[in-house]
Structure 1
Amino acid sequence: MTGTGKRQLHLGAFMRPVSLHTGAWRWPGAWKDANFSFPKLAKLAQKLEEGKFDAFFMADHLAVLNMPLEALRRSQTTTSFEPFTLLSALAAVTERIGLVATASTTFDEPFHIARRFASLDHISGGRAGWNVVTTANPDAALNFGREEHVAHAERYDRAREFYDVVTGLWDSFADDAFVQDAESGIFFDPEKMHVLDHKGAHLSVRGPLNIARPVQGWPVIVQAGASEPGRRLAAETAEVVFAAPRTLAEGRAFAADVKGRAERAGRSRDAIKILPGALVLVADSLEEARDRRARLDALVNYESSIASLSVALGVEASGFDPDGPLPEIPETNDSKSSRERVIELARAEGLTVRQLAQRLGGYGGLAFVGTPRSIADEMQEWLETEGSDGFNLTFPYLPDGLVDFVDKVVPELQRRGIFRRDYAGATLRDHLGLPRPANRFFPS
């Protein structure tokens, strides 16, 4: 909160890929190689920090996207940096902005995840966040010695246990365990080290973690699943939830549901920050903004758009009648929330397969397209009517789309007293107003 007493907006930046709009790299003047150019990513992170963003968020994929090669060859998402390598490097060229990375509970081990995020938290001075994912892409399984993907329910059961193990490993040492007393020759106090010795349904991990407790106690826990198991996991564990509502009504319903579940799990509603994903496209007039959006969408090839629809639905859509309605879609082992959102969009707006594909092929989610004032109006309405606590923003093209938002919309939000003019603290928890977790084994 600030002296105004108004609720404060939280802003993350979805930066892998640097834009979720598949036509972004074709925009005149766009940085086509920004996904794998460290100097460009560093400049973008520094500009976001200039705009006082809470966090730079790097999603991750453990396989090339499962779409036809004709579509894949047009996609900017094919390659990118490994997230911990990139965020550790960005930590050295930024000072305050949070650094959030995706890491999979299905295809990695808890000790690896705990150690990497603890290291990033120390390297960055307390700015790390872990986006907990179970990995939806079935092709990822083929890169980790599996013939088929792990079942949806099993992935979430493992994720819940995985969270307990990782947070337990972060608590391996008391905050004051490392006494470093040169005179006595004692570097750390063994009585302030805990051996986790976890043996569960999915995992067996002895511990302790071989690194001091993270600066933040625990890096911030982020989660994005919107399915029933995903919402349950978020309510029990998440501190930030990346959501995907398309309307304010959907946003309010989602926020009320997840925060209500958190309360029933014995947590405070304020313990979770809901940040819907949103595309932001800024111009000096509404007409100009809409024209830019139309020109941007026109850069999306049909092969790419129908492939995006296939990925979202978890079934091959290229054989559907382009000018007919979306047919009945069977259940799959892919992301259920993504599938349901797409089906609901098609039904609600009466879209043909072609229209639906074009929407998804560019960017099919929540979008704020307008002037600095109109975008600030919409964001303020979401904040004040409890549709969200802020947004996880993606930009239409880089660098101009990001620069336009920081230079034009952020000052308007600050003028209204709903967004910080400067960072009040040094850690990501400080930015989000989240408490530092107590050590479960060494309570102070």
Structure 2
Amino acid sequence: MSETKREMKLGLFLQPLGHHVAGWRHPEAQAVEQDLALIQRIARTAEDAKFDMVFLADGLTTGRDAHPSWVVRFEPLTLLAALAMTTTRIGLAATASTTYGDPFTTARAFASLDHLSRGRAAWNVVTTSYDRSATNFSREQHLEHDLRYEVAEEFVEVAKGLWDSWDEDAFPKDKQAGVFFDTAKFHELNHKGRFFSVKGPLNVARAPQGHPVLIQAGSSGVGQDFAAKIAEVVFTAQFGTDEAREFYRGLKARVAAQGRRPDQVHVMPGVMPVIGRTTREAKDKYAELQRWSDDSNALFLLSERLGHDISGYPLDGPLPELPPSNQNRSRAELLTRLAREQNLTIRELYHLVAGARGHRIVWGTAEEVADALTDWFTGGAADGFNIMPAYFPGAFEEFTGQVVPILQERGLFRRDYQGTTLRDHLGLPVPKSRWAV
């Protein structure tokens, strides 16, 4: 029996105003953040291109200096429920915080989405990076970085236990006998831990996928350890090929050390593609986006990613030595390493952040973009990619219309879906219930 050919996984990181800080200013951009019709159109485009999933990030704050896509936004699970009604195959992934959430409510919401979408839900498990989130949830202080991951580990364990509340055949609905559900086939969790006490059972039947797919995006040491324990997809920001390979090898080793199969954890770095008819045209398109960037906005984004206000330092000087942050530690380390290795000034670094927030930027013809993705995929740096268009819908439609057919022709990406659930698309098994005999 021949081994199934390895195929690239593709997710769409959907931000209607685009991932470049100035993407909304592009003449072809439809600069409307909360427009359901536009978002539905983008999701259908991704489904027509046979993408594995659409992914929605989330933030729990806003502000005058925020990235345009973060100023206002729909609550992601509510939006995905709407997208479930206008799509049929593509996976639907949303971020939900373990620091500012509740295990029962979160488990119930994702189980409901999995039912509504007939098995296409995924949860991007985050601990929430930014200190200012605390004040929106009646707290004066943000939890310390490593403690947030301790909370997250127990939070996810509780959610998984709640998803096992009901056996698959718990509802016989026997009208003659008057038996709607079998009382022997539902289970109380009775969890009592360090952070949570949850009795259960969940008041949602077992989800079509058993458990929604679990995604994790932390790349710090403790974040990678957490991913190795729970994640089935890992979103990451890697800028250089060597560091991407190192991250990939290291994470897969951590997964194996947990007694899990490395091929059932997909590493998907973020990539912003900028496509032109020629390489020169693509570079010019990117340069134009950079010229539209507002310096103060880009500097705010860089400060946010570093976890320290650097507005008082000379823009054309080097990045100063900064202490570890309690916020997004892995992104701060990535950007600091880039600044040191490439001898970047603060101005050069914040323009890089304006482009894709530390994610990889690939510009060129469709063939050149396909080559870049192919090299990382076949070269041990990625199992697929989270595509981050600079603006919508045009930049994404260029990718689906020009790059995806090349990947399909090379046999690296599917021409059609072979299953109906997100687990089918990703080649992931349905988790067995903890109560299964």
Bin the TM-score by the shorter chain: over 0.9
| 2:265 aligns with one of 263, 272, 279 | 272
Instruction: Provide the C-alpha distance between the structure 1 equivalents of 2:271 and 2:42, rounded to a whole number of angstroms.
Output: 18
| 1:38 aligns with one of 36, 39, 60 | 36
Instruction: Provide the C-alpha distance between the structure 2 equivalents of 1:163 and 1:18, rounded to a whole number of angstroms.
Output: 31
Q: Give the counterpart letter for 2:18 in structure 1.
A: S
SS of residue paired to 2:70: coil
Q: Equivalences for 1:3-402 in 2 at 5 Å? A: 6-16=5-15, 18-33=17-32, 35-64=33-62, 69=64, 71-72=65-66, 75-363=68-356, 364-402=358-396
Instruction: Provide the C-alpha distance between the structure 2 equivalents of 1:269 and 1:85, rounded to a whole number of angstroms.
Output: 32
Q: Note if 1:419 corresponds to 2:417.
A: no
> Once the two structures are superposed, what CA deviation does each residue of 1:233-283 show, in whole Å capped at 9, x if it has no partner?
000100000011111211111111111011011001112000001101112
- How far off its partner does 1:115 sit? 0.2
> Once the two structures are superposed, what CA deviation does each residue of 1:132-167 show, in whole Å capped at 9, x if it has no partner?
000001111100010010111111001001111000
Report how many residues are paired: 436
Q: Give the counterpart letter for 1:19 in structure 2.
A: G
- How far off its partner does 1:180 sit? 0.9
SS of residue paired to 1:417: coil
Instruction: Provide the C-alpha distance between the structure 2 equivalents of 1:120 and 1:229, rounded to a whole number of angstroms.
Output: 29
SS of residue paired to 1:185: coil
Contact conserved, 1:17 with 1:59, CA < 8 A, in 2? Answer: no
Aligned-residue identity in percent? 44
Instruction: Provide the C-alpha distance between the structure 1 equivalents of 2:186 and 2:392, rounded to a whole number of angstroms.
Output: 47
For the aligned residues, what is the CA RMSD? Answer: 1.4
Q: Give the counterpart letter for 2:420 in structure 1.
A: A
Contact conserved, 2:234 with 2:268, CA < 8 A, in 1? Answer: yes
Q: Give the counterpart letter for 1:297 in structure 2.
A: Q
SS of residue paired to 1:221: strand
- How far off its partner does 1:94 sit? 0.4
- How far off its partner does 1:17 sit? 5.4
SS of residue paired to 1:77: helix
Q: Give the counterpart letter for 2:364 in structure 1.
A: G
Q: Give the counterpart letter for 1:89 in structure 2.
A: A
- How far off its partner does 1:4 sit? 9.6
> Once the two structures are superposed, what CA deviation does each residue of 1:40-62 show, in whole Å capped at 9, x if it has no partner?
00000000101000000000011
Contact conserved, 1:280 with 1:368, CA < 8 A, in 2? Answer: yes
> Once the two structures are superposed, what CA deviation does each residue of 1:159-200 show, in whole Å capped at 9, x if it has no partner?
001111000000001111111111111011111111000000
Q: Give the counterpart letter for 1:435 in structure 2.
A: P
State TM-score, norm by structure 2: 0.98
Instruction: Provide the C-alpha distance between the structure 1 equivalents of 2:378 and 2:319, rounded to a whole number of angstroms.
Output: 36
Judging changes above 3 Å, is the alpha-carbon distance between structure 1 residues 16 and 112 closer, same or farther for their aligned structure 2 residues?
farther
SS of residue paired to 1:402: helix
Instruction: Provide the C-alpha distance between the structure 1 equivalents of 2:141 and 2:261, rounded to a whole number of angstroms.
Output: 39
Contact conserved, 2:126 with 2:216, CA < 8 A, in 1? Answer: yes
Q: Give the counterpart letter for 1:138 in structure 2.
A: D
Contact conserved, 1:56 with 1:98, CA < 8 A, in 2? Answer: yes
- How far off its partner does 1:76 sit? 3.4
Contact conserved, 1:122 with 1:214, CA < 8 A, in 2? Answer: yes
Q: Which moved more, 1:159-168 or 1:366-375?
A: 366-375
Judging changes above 3 Å, is the alpha-carbon distance between structure 1 residues 5 and 173 closer, same or farther for their aligned structure 2 residues?
closer
Instruction: Provide the C-alpha distance between the structure 2 equivalents of 1:310 and 1:161, rounded to a whole number of angstroms.
Output: 31
- How far off its partner does 1:442 sit? 2.3
Paired position in structure 1 for 2:424:
430
Instruction: Provide the C-alpha distance between the structure 2 equivalents of 1:216 and 1:327, rounded to a whole number of angstroms.
Output: 48
- How far off its partner does 1:380 sit? 1.2
SS of residue paired to 2:347: helix
Paired position in structure 2 for 1:403:
397
SS of residue paired to 1:166: helix
- How far off its partner does 1:63 sit? 1.0
Unaligned runs of 5+ in 1: none
Judging changes above 3 Å, is the alpha-carbon distance between structure 1 residues 330 and 17 closer, same or farther for their aligned structure 2 residues?
farther
Q: Give the counterpart letter for 2:368 in structure 1.
A: S
Q: Give the counterpart letter for 2:167 in structure 1.
A: A
Instruction: Provide the C-alpha distance between the structure 2 equivalents of 1:6 and 1:215, rounded to a whole number of angstroms.
Output: 26
Instruction: Provide the C-alpha distance between the structure 2 equivalents of 1:49 and 1:305, rounded to a whole number of angstroms.
Output: 32
Contact conserved, 1:63 with 1:143, CA < 8 A, in 2? Answer: yes
Instruction: Provide the C-alpha distance between the structure 1 equivalents of 2:385 and 2:30, rounded to a whole number of angstroms.
Output: 24
SS of residue paired to 1:275: strand
> Once the two structures are superposed, what CA deviation does each residue of 1:368-388 show, in whole Å capped at 9, x if it has no partner?
211111111111111111210
- How far off its partner does 1:362 sit? 2.6
Instruction: Provide the C-alpha distance between the structure 2 equivalents of 1:431 and 1:104, rounded to a whole number of angstroms.
Output: 25
Q: Give the counterpart letter for 1:310 in structure 2.
A: S
SS of residue paired to 1:274: strand
Q: Give the counterpart letter for 1:277 in structure 2.
A: G
Instruction: Provide the C-alpha distance between the structure 2 equivalents of 1:415 and 1:388, rounded to a whole number of angstroms.
Output: 20
